Amino acid sequence: MHLSITKTDPSDAILLSEYGRAIQPPVYQMSNDSLLLLRQKRTLLRQYQNRTADAAASSTA
């Protein structure tokens, strides 16, 4: 594992590619389309809740 204070997308991409090359994890297979749709909806709901909370916080500040 590489320890780094720098947090950027390019450096993260390099570390992820090195991990994949070294570990060669198995390819993840989604069990079915319904589960994928449910996870997408959960992600959208979380994003909506975060934006709503951010908007409420900025309007009171």
Tens of pLDDT, residues 2-44: 666 666 788 888 988 999 999 999 988 767 888 889 999 999 9
pTM: 0.44
* Residue with token string 């997308």: 9
User: How many Cβ atoms are within 10 Å of 11's Cβ, its own excluded?
Assistant: 12
Length of the chain, please?
A: 61
Q: How far apart are CA 11 and CA 19, in angstroms?
A: 12
Residue 60: pLDDT band by 50, 70, 90 thresholds? confident
Q: How far apart are CA 18 and CA 27, in angstroms?
A: 16
Q: What are phi and psi of 29, to 5 degrees?
A: -115, 125
The two tokens of residue 61 are: 């500040």
